[in-house]
Amino acid sequence: MTTPRQYRDTPVDVKLVLCALWVTMLFVFAYVDIFGLFRADVLDAALDGKIANTAFAVDQVFLTTTLIYILPSILMVVLTLLLAPRVDRIVNIVVSFLYLITIVVSCIGETWVYYLLGSLVEVVLLVVIARTAWRWPSPTVAPSLS
């Protein structure tokens, strides 16, 4: 009789978990926007240089503002790996909370299920990011030999 092979589970560093969560959130974020380009109202408005169902025109100001909006989440992928733990923890909590608010607000009045589902997944990922950062393990203190 053979025994099933056992595999050792290795702990994953908090920084890597947070980095992976940010990457995943960005993929969902991007694909929700990309899928939106298949909507006739969004595509027609884009061809007219506008954002569907808004007063926004697609111009230098709009595109620059959009880039400024998305840059913090993009930078969180690398900042999560490079920042000191104390700063990293605070920045992850603050940035995830700010994005969570903007995503919830963007759902107001939305009726497309793909958008609402994608936004729900983004919100869940952002809550997990904040929770993971909040529960960041304390550094272990070596016992004193004196």
pLDDT tens sequence across 13-30: 999 999 999 999 999 999
**Interatomic CA distance for residues 25 and 128, integer angstroms:** 11
**Interatomic CA distance for residues 73 and 30, integer angstroms:** 12
The whole-model pTM stands at 0.87
pLDDT digits over 68-127, tens only? Answer: 999 999 999 999 999 999 999 999 999 999 999 999 999 999 999 999 999 999 999 999
Residue 55 pLDDT: 83
Residue 142 pLDDT: 57
Residue in the block written with tokens 């408005």: 45
C-alpha dihedral (116, 121, 126, 129), degrees to nearest 10:
180
Q: Which of 43, 31, 98, 97 is nearest to 69 (CA)?
A: 98
**Interatomic CA distance for residues 81 and 115, integer angstroms:** 30
Check pLDDT > 70 for residue 141. no
Residue 50: phi and psi, rounded to 5, are -130, 165
Report yes or no: 125 and 24 within 8 Å, Cβ to Cβ.
yes
